[in-house]
Amino acid sequence: MSGILEGKRILITGVLMESSIAFHVAKLAQEQGAEIILTAFPRPTLTERIAKKLPKPAKVIELDVTNDEHLARLADVVGEELGGLDGIVHSIGFAPQDALGGNFLNTPFESVSTAMHVSAFSLKSLTMACLPLMQNGGSVVGLTFDASFAWPQYDWMGPAKAALEATSRYMARDLGKQNIRCNLVSAGPIGSMAAKSIPGFAELASVWDTRSPLEWDLKDPEPAGRGVVALLSDWFPKTTGEIVHVDGGLHAIGA
């Protein structure tokens, strides 16, 4: 039986460590029959080393999603490698240290602007840069951390994720006519490089120990990766503008 991504061509951002959700998306995508290309910034060599642990070789290209020159050449570079695209995985988020860790009321706008640009606006700019390669439609899937709530220590990444979620809905609205679906996976906390950059991450993650209906493993990114791969596939042909929670069910539970 062929995989659910057989014949698909997928661009995946955010492969930084073996513990990252994006790495598991890349691994599962290859196992399910996809051809993939990875983007990395600011250290493509780090991603190249991690990519050697994938089932098959994968090309890594440098991409700063805030750099207009990088975005302008992206379609040509990816087109030469894959010919076209059927899917995009947005696993990009960043906030300066003064925008995290309990400094919400004192964070300067410059830091907030950076968080918004990298973490939210980039979903639109990345997709538009790849749009010429998606002539037959496709699926865009991003990763969020439930922006319905104010989380301990998460500070301006919360509003940035809220902006990402709204951006995904508006993209779903505007790209549907081209048969391009836009969805997000809201994952529970994972002990990845991104998580380690959040001061007080352990306090945030501890909520899952007592409130998650399903046992949650901080060291297991695969469930979230499976959610992304499912949304990249043709098994959700009429689902767009959606946020699929892969968080052990915590989003459904009150105090």
Q: Which residues are annotated as a binding site for NAD(+)?
A: 14, 20-21, 64-65, 92, 161, 190-194
Contacts of 153 by beta carbon, 8 Å cutoff, 6+ apart = 100, 101, 102, 198, 199, 200, 201, 203, 204
HSE toward the beta carbon, residue 149, CA cutoff 13 A: 14
CA separation for the pair 151, 209 (Å, rounded):
15
Q: Catalytic: which of 8, 27, 124, 161?
A: 161
Pick from 16, 10, 47, 57: nearest CA to 29: 10
The rounded distance, in Å, linking the Cα atoms of 120 and 142 is 10
Q: Residues within the annotated binding site for substrate? A: 95
At residue 240, what is the residue type?
T
In the annotated binding site, the residues are: 14, 20-21, 64-65, 92, 95, 161, 190-194
Instruction: Determine the Cα–Cα distance for residues 36 and 3; give it in Å rounded to an integer.
Output: 14
170 is catalytic: no
Instruction: From residue 232, give the alpha-carbon distance in Å to each of 33, 88, 165, 172.
Output: 12, 8, 17, 14
Q: Rg of the chain's alpha carbons, rounded to an integer?
A: 17
Query: Token pair of 205, please?
Result: 């993650």
Reference 65, options 41, 95, 97; nearest CA is 41
User: How many Å apart are CA 191 and CA 194, to the nearest integer?
Assistant: 8
- Catalytic residue at 161? yes
What residues are labeled active site?
Answer: 154, 161
